[in-house]
Amino acid sequence: MSYNFWTGSKVRLRAIEQKDFDAIMASNEEPDTELDRYEDQIHFPISREKNRDRLQALATRERTDDTYFWIIEDLQGEKVGYFATFDCDARNGVFKYAVIILRLHWGKGYARDAIRVVFRYYFRELRYQKVVALVYSFNERSIRLHQGLGFQLEGRARRMVYTNGKFYDELTFGLTCEEFDQVDPPSCLDDIPGESHD
């Protein structure tokens, strides 16, 4: 049995590939339409060519820190979302992240599974000690997700975004590596399928 660190129980995370550019160019849909209500504003339409350029820049960016962008697939290989880490401060061991699951795939546990895979890497391989998530107060699904993963509400910046005719707060959630271990206990290396430790 082969072992791939970037595969969880429901999803697999991978780098951007040519097939992602091709899918955007072949699509008749605006790529970000289904996500607009969970962003800080409704954006002007973006051409498929421009979106392809953005993905191309992400795919070819020279890494200078631990910032990264993944495509999230289900275990059958269908793209279900995106994951990004950013503001990675290795000196203090703190990073931020964002996860987006396409609306068609909501409620299947894909976000939670992807989060666990990435956090295992950042906490247990790169030695980060804390992750921070910024969530807008209208995004109740994201608030519940973070609370369920053990995140603590650390701050509320009032009236930070204006969208849909209202002002909304920005919530700051934090999770330490020890708190993550409570919801996702580290496994022994001897338990990894297909690995030999003689």
Report the CATH number that the domain containing residue 73 is assigned in CATH: 3.40.630.30
Question: What's the number of domains the chain is made of?
Answer: 1
**Better pLDDT: 39 or 183:** 183
Look at residue 45 and tell me if it is in a domain.
yes
pLDDT band for 2, please (50, 70, 90 cuts): low
Which has the closest alpha carbon to 135: 123, 117, 151, 114? 151
Which has the closest alpha carbon to 134: 114, 155, 119? 155
Q: Is the dihedral of CA 191, 194, 195, 198 positive or negative?
A: positive
Look at residue 4 and tell me if it is in a domain.
no
Whether residue 35 is predicted with pLDDT greater than 90 in this model: the reply is no
Would you state the pLDDT for residue 61?
Answer: 83
pLDDT, tens digit, 9 for 90 and up, residues 164-177: 889 999 999 999 99
What range defines the domain where residue 111 resides?
11-191
Cβ neighbourhood burial of 110 (10 Å; 0-12, 13-18, 19+): buried
Whether residue 32 is predicted with pLDDT greater than 50 in this model: the reply is no
**What is the overall mean pLDDT for the chain?**
87
CB of 172 closer than 8 Å to CB of 157: yes
Which helix (H) or strand (E) is 111 found in, with range? helix 110-124
pLDDT, tens digit, 9 for 90 and up, residues 51-67: 778 878 878 888 889 99
pLDDT band for 94, please (50, 70, 90 cuts): very high
Look at residue 136 and tell me if it is in a domain.
yes
- Whole-angstrom Cα distance, residue 155 to residue 174? 9
Neighbour-count burial for 130-159, b at 16+ CB within 10 Å, e otherwise: bbbbbbbbebeebbebbeebbbeeeeeeee
Look at residue 86 and tell me if it is in a domain.
yes
